[in-house]
Chain A
């Protein structure tokens, strides 16, 4: 079975901390994505990557950066966490090309106090 694994289900951090959210996929997918989900707003794309060391901004990249050093791993970095970054973060992956399915992880609920 295909798998997208996010390192933590729940995370609590302090304002100003540097936060790393890790995502690993075992399907050899080219594309990986980070979304955040807030009540009433659906999923919003933060960043995506279509290859190792490649990244593209999504709709809401401000305050975030990403790293993709290996094909299977895509990290989301909050350089200096703020309370408005409290959210559910979802990682996804897909093969390259049109019409390919997205596979999601279970999500990380991040609380910034």
Chain B
């Protein structure tokens, strides 16, 4: 089963950090963990991905548990433009990205 588990929705205040959790308890040793987000009326866009180590880029940070059964996407300072559906996905060698329903993030001004 290539699925991941995420909360249906989360809320954050503007300019506060947001931690979006994801469980992938059946992940295999070679599966990457990807995060994408989808703004209203757009296709999903890449946010970040990693394999074992924590990763940072200009958009976010990705913290991966030592046993790799879970991960957390961290938005350091949420803005109104970060309101979107966030998807956590296991990458089965780039051929079968399985998206779940994702987490709908609301950002309150």
Chain B minimum-CB-distance residue to A102: B97
* B99 and A99 contact, CB distance less than 8 A: no
* B97 and A99 contact, CB distance less than 8 A: no
- Stretch of A13-21, A66-74, A79-87, A104-112 on the interface side: A104-112
* B94 and A96 contact, CB distance less than 8 A: yes
Within 8 Å by CB of A31, from B42, B44, B94, B101, lies: B94
Which of B42, B95, B98 is most buried by chain A, counting CB atoms within 10 A of its CB?
A: B95
Within 8 Å by CB of A98, from B32, B98, B100, lies: B32
Does A101 reach chain B (CB closer than 8 Å)? Answer: yes
- Chain A, residues 26-59, CB within 8 Å of chain B (1/0): the string is 0000010101000011111100101000001011
Within 8 Å by CB of B44, from A50, A96, A104, lies: A104
CB distance from A20 to the nearest CB of B (A): 19
- Find chain B residues with CB under 8 A from A107 CB: 42-43
Does A94 reach chain B (CB closer than 8 Å)? Answer: yes
- Find chain A residues with CB under 8 A from B51 CB: 99
CB distance from B102 to the nearest CB of A (A): 6
Within 8 Å by CB of A58, from B46, B49, B96, B100, lies: B96
Q: How far is the CA of A2 from the CA of B34 in the complex (A)?
A: 19
* A42 and B42 contact, CB distance less than 8 A: no
* B30 and A98 contact, CB distance less than 8 A: yes
* B101 and A41 contact, CB distance less than 8 A: yes
Within 8 Å by CB of B97, from A45, A50, A96, lies: A45
Question: Given A42-B102, A101-B49 in contact, is the A90-B44 Cβ separation under 8 Å?
Answer: yes
* A102 and B32 contact, CB distance less than 8 A: no
Q: How far is the CA of A95 from the CA of B69 in the complex (A)?
A: 26
Chain A minimum-CB-distance residue to B50: A99
Sort A-B residue pairs by CB-CB distance and give the 4 closest, nearest first. Answer: A104-B43, A43-B99, A42-B101, A99-B32
Residues of A within 8 A of B (CB): 4, 31, 33, 35, 40-45, 48, 50, 56, 58-59, 90, 92, 94-107
